[in-house]
A and B are shown apart, each in its own frame.
Chain A
């Protein structure tokens, strides 16, 4: 299953709900397109919900990092929500777990934006 991504607004925060795989090719490209599209609309407070993402490869990790730096470049913030065990393990292995702000509760993630 490739990636499916939709987004919804919660006040000044946009939540991107992802499901499937974030891997080389369509999955990474869709995540990039979604985040860049939000930035183009001026949405710079973004939560990426990975609850239904059970697989991510180095390209997907790279795309999350790319999104993180692109949002930060617009003085915004990109945070992660609901990591599955495999994704959490990968982010810990690659030391990115300390780079991203990660939440397990959506309300807390939303209220974390200033």
Chain B
């Protein structure tokens, strides 16, 4: 498969079912791109967490709002965008779920999981005014650690002010 220039875009309803739908769609793309089982799991989980974030925090579960999902396959990586129609947020405002005082929190681990499972992760102000999660993973074969499912640590750039 030659993945250069592949682009997929879909608008999802703000409902729980969209989480599974988004995950399944991205898993198909990841499998077709040649990612192994472990990386597919990490990509699927990251998409799931991104859409949960848009559904719950961004759109606040309001059905009139939409979730915009886009996937790009470039020559070297799979890039995923999840855009909500909320008011946006700053990564620096997200509490650290590994901090002792947050360990027993019942929420707030989604961003951490996406950062851990993807090679690159950022949150920017989207075209809707909401938060746009942008995350990517190097295609297998280009990065040895990625190809064997032992993905490296993610970068954690700060969002625009």
Chain A residues proximal to chain B, CB less than 8 Å: 23-25, 57-59, 61-63, 65-66, 68-69, 86, 90, 93-96, 99
With A24-B52, A59-B52, A93-B116 known to touch, is A68 a contact of B104 (CB < 8 Å)?
Answer: yes
Report how many A-B pairs have Cβ atoms within 8 Å: 47
How many residues of B are in contact with the other chain, CB < 8 A?
20
A94 near B98: Cβ-Cβ < 8 Å: yes
State A57–B113 Cα separation when bound (angstroms): 9
A65 near B16: Cβ-Cβ < 8 Å: no
Closest to B49 in A: A58
State A69–B102 Cα separation when bound (angstroms): 13
Rounded to whole Å, the gap between the CB of B46 and the closest CB of chain A is 10
Closest to A65 in B: B106
Closest to A95 in B: B98
State A63–B105 Cα separation when bound (angstroms): 10
Assess whether B142 is interfacial by the CB under 8 Å rule: no
Contacts of B130 in A (CB 8 A): none
Chain B residues proximal to chain A, CB less than 8 Å: 16, 19-20, 41, 45, 48-49, 52, 97-98, 103-107, 109-110, 112-113, 116
Rounded to whole Å, the gap between the CB of B129 and the closest CB of chain A is 25
Contacts of B103 in A (CB 8 A): 95-96, 99
Contacts of A95 in B (CB 8 A): 98, 103
| Leading 8 A-B pairs by shortest Cβ distance | A62-B106, A25-B16, A58-B109, A58-B110, A66-B106, A95-B98, A65-B106, A62-B107
B109 near A62: Cβ-Cβ < 8 Å: yes
Contacts of B49 in A (CB 8 A): 57-58
Rounded to whole Å, the gap between the CB of B37 and the closest CB of chain A is 11
A57 near B104: Cβ-Cβ < 8 Å: no
Rounded to whole Å, the gap between the CB of B119 and the closest CB of chain A is 16
Closest to A90 in B: B113
With A24-B16, A58-B107 known to touch, is A86 a contact of B41 (CB < 8 Å)?
Answer: yes
